[in-house]
Chain A
Amino acid sequence: MINAIIEAFQFTFMRNALAAGLLVSIACGIIGTYVVVNRIVFISGGIAHAAYGGIGLGYFLGINPIFGAIGFSLLSALGMGAVQRKTKERADTIIGVMWAIGMALGIILIDRSAGYKADLMSYLFGSILSVPGSDLVLMAILDFSIIVLVSLFYKELQAISFDETFTTLQNVPVNALYLLLLAMIAVTVVMMMRVVGLIMVIALLTIPAAISGMHVHSLKSMMILSTLLGMVFTLIGLWLSYSWNLTSGATIILISGIGYLISLLIQSWRASRDKRTWQMPKVNS
């Protein structure tokens, strides 16, 4: 086993995959925590799928599709954010429409593009085993930016997530900060697309944070635990997909899903144990 691992890491693509998994887990753990506590999973899904329009645009214009995806996901994040904040009702409908339009646009643009489109599937289903070195640099820069921004605005973002009205009354620029959060979700989603593909982005964004939320009670520890869990899931998934020749994205998501189930079991076991101790008669009372 150890030898097999050492052997695997002789390959550049495996080292890149490992680095990509670790880098993405950082953004994913921090941003996924906000997505879960703010209950904006749906918006995040919309951003991820609308980003496909940007990939199509990238192919159409002959530029790196990742830049198209970043541009598109940022635009759709701001658009969906504005819709969600302006129209209190039916925001989910409009977000769903934008989600679908983004994807459709991507498909049409790709239809109209000339040339070789073999790695198109890698955006849909991810391919951690083919992450180029340049993407790693981009991921590191995005991670760094997210860490800096979140540490600068940690208290404000926490306050907005917990009680937006009260935070508004403190004359905190709530709208600007909320859009900043959505923009960070957008770039995180694009990074993750490389690893698990846009269809499964939501799972990797939310599962580690959801598990952490069951076991720790502060935003900061949730972020740290989610990051660590994300790393564990991607590494196990990566290893299994390498050794059994499975689709990497799907393997990572399945491992995360199993982790989630185990966490649920632990939680319900803990709850029933707590209830048993309630019923224990107190000896000295």
Chain B
Amino acid sequence: MKEKPIIHMENLWAGYGQDPILENINLDIYSQDFVGLIGPNGGGKTTLIKVILGLLEPSRGKVEIMGMPVRQGREAVGYVPQLVEFDRAFPISVYEVVRMGLLGKRKLLNPFLPVDRDKIFQALDLVNLKHLVDQPIGELSGGQRQRVYIARALVAEPKILLLDEPTASIDPQTSTSIYELLRDLNQQVTILLISHDMSAITSYVKTIGCLNHQLAYHAQKEISPDMLEIGYQCPVDLIAHGLPHRVLPAHPHEEHIHD
């Protein structure tokens, strides 16, 4: 049938302390996918990312990246963290931030090579920031900083980009340009994007899923009734943004919605 998934999750449970945050998650992400997972805050989006990145051990179930355990497989993941406030005085240049993405490719104590320099410039070129290469990261705008993090994730030529709330704290115009950039990048790289802001992502992603402790994902573009049930808050947000016609399916399931 289809080729092997890049990310494979099977009957996965995870959480902290007594209560599971992720309940029985099953998810396969294939090459060239552009998956957007939406869900309310507290619905387990961050937990899911931590599990994929091997920062949190699942309590039950299985997660694999490229058929490998996450700690090895995560070298194939380009992670773009959520933009948070940070120490603007931190002395590091854009070049040095992007270079961080190559640390995994290089053994400790080995020097970086001239080819690494080329890779860093190529990654910055992809996000249109070559001209800022020597700037201190603290002097960049939020959107530019997000692009630097995307370049940092791309520089090691990952199989999949994993983005956590890529537009959470940037203005709508910049968000649009970030999503357009991601759509272009998707021609080469698989993307998994997690956000609570669905109105924007639905226009760009290829398939959408809803995460609120459980996951409803059918590798489709539309929001299905079970997604509405699971992620009750998603459709509310959706309709509030005036886009129901875009993502609600045409087939008759409306009785479920009003249950």
Q: Which residues of A contact B (CB under 8 A)?
A: 37, 39, 152-153, 155-156, 158-159, 161-163, 165-173, 213-214, 216-219, 221-222
Contacts and interface: CB of A to CB of B under 8 A. Distances in A.
Q: How large is the interface on B (under 10, 10 to 19, 20 to 34, 35 or more residues)?
A: 20 to 34
A156 B92 contact: no
A152 B91 contact: no
Interface in B2-39: none
Nearest to A163: B100
The 10 A-B residue pairs whose C-beta atoms are closest, nearest first, are: A170-B104, A170-B103, A217-B136, A159-B100, A219-B91, A217-B91, A218-B91, A222-B91, A162-B92, A172-B103
Interface in B116-163: 136, 138, 152
22 contacts: A37-B87, A37-B90, A37-B91, A155-B100, A155-B103, A156-B103, A156-B108, A163-B81, A166-B79, A169-B55, A170-B75, A171-B71, A171-B104, A172-B104, A172-B108, A213-B91, A217-B93, A217-B138, A218-B91, A218-B93, A219-B92, A222-B91
A216 B55 contact: no
Contact of A169 (B77, B93, B99, B109): B77
A171 B106 CA distance: 10
A218 B92 contact: yes
Nearest to B102: A170
A34 B91 CA distance: 11
Nearest to B104: A170
Given A213-B91, A218-B91, A165 B104 contact: no
Contacts of B96: 155, 158, 218
A162 B90 contact: yes
Given A213-B91, A218-B136, 7 more contacts: A37-B87, A156-B103, A158-B92, A162-B100, A167-B103, A170-B75, A217-B93
Contacts of A162: 90, 92, 97, 100
Interface in B144-198: 152
Nearest to A177: B108
Nearest to A33: B91
Interface of B: 53-55, 71, 74-75, 77, 79, 81, 87, 89-93, 96-97, 99-101, 103-104, 108-109, 112, 136, 138, 152
Contacts of B55: 165, 168-169
A159 B99 CA distance: 9
A178 to B, nearest CB: 14
A160 to B, nearest CB: 10
Given A152-B109, A173-B108, A167 B100 contact: yes
Nearest to B97: A162
A172 B109 CA distance: 11
A169 B74 contact: yes
A218 to B, nearest CB: 5
A12 B104 CA distance: 51
A151 to B, nearest CB: 11
Contacts of A161: 90
Contacts of A168: 55
Contacts of B81: 163, 165-166
A213 B74 CA distance: 34
B109 A216 contact: no
A202 to B, nearest CB: 19
Interface centre among A165, A169, A213, A222, by most chain B C-beta atoms within 10 angstroms, is: A169
A39 B152 CA distance: 24
A12 to B, nearest CB: 39
Interface centre among A170, A171, A216, A218, by most chain B C-beta atoms within 10 angstroms, is: A170
Contacts of A37: 87, 90-91
Given A155-B99, A155-B112, A169 B104 contact: yes
B47 to A, nearest CB: 14
B79 A169 contact: yes
Contacts of B79: 166, 169
A172 B81 CA distance: 18
B153 to A, nearest CB: 9
A37 B91 CA distance: 8
Contact of B100 (A152, A153, A166, A218): A166
A121 to B, nearest CB: 37
A177 B74 CA distance: 20
A205 B136 CA distance: 24
